[in-house]
Amino acid sequence: TGGSILFNPFMFGFDGTSNVDSEKYRCYVAIICALREILDECRINIGCKGYIYIQDCVITIFDQRRMNICFKSDVYPYVAAKYGIRDIENIEHNIRNAIGAAYKLCLSDICQGSGIVKYFDKRPTNKEFLLRLTREVYRRVWNESVEFARF
């Protein structure tokens, strides 16, 4: 799987020469749009260092096509490699900080429990948050369009 797991426009093998590639690329774009919308609802903005790591983790989960995933061996190493980070704990730390900030903000009077954070009774772990986020992206993309059902 190697390079195809990393976050880039060609991760699904898109080269623009076939309908299959075009469908995969449209699927990828739909996933990214839904993901960014959900992160915005959670008040995690692109200026947050963990934002891009969260995004890449979700894309990696989709690429692996399974939810029973070990983040320390199946997800974080790919994200770390993409950014040239040697220690995956930096990835974990930045994601944890982004989730913690979103959780506090979304439970405050400002957001009144918005986004997927409202589904948690306490601050979620990275794994809980990322898997819930992946499920929500999947639900939004595939409920909105039948053409993506072949993913």
Distance CA(142)–CA(120), nearest Å, equals 23
Rounded to an integer, the average pLDDT of 53-61 is 92
Instruction: Supply 33's token pair.
Output: 């749009």
- How confident is residue 10, by pLDDT bands cut at 50, 70 and 90? very low
Q: What is the pTM of this model?
A: 0.77
- Four-point Cα dihedral 127, 132, 133, 139, nearest 10: 150
Q: How much is the pLDDT for 105?
A: 77
pLDDT digits (tens, 9 = 90+) for 29-41: 888 999 999 998 8
- Four-point Cα dihedral 111, 46, 51, 147, nearest 10: 90
pLDDT digits (tens, 9 = 90+) for 106-119: 776 555 556 677 77
Closest-CA residue to 125 (of 85, 80, 95): 95
- How confident is residue 48, by pLDDT bands cut at 50, 70 and 90? confident
Q: How much is the pLDDT for 119?
A: 73
Instruction: Supply 76's token pair.
Output: 């974080």
Q: How much is the pLDDT for 93?
A: 95
pLDDT at 146 over 80: no
Average pLDDT, the chain: 78
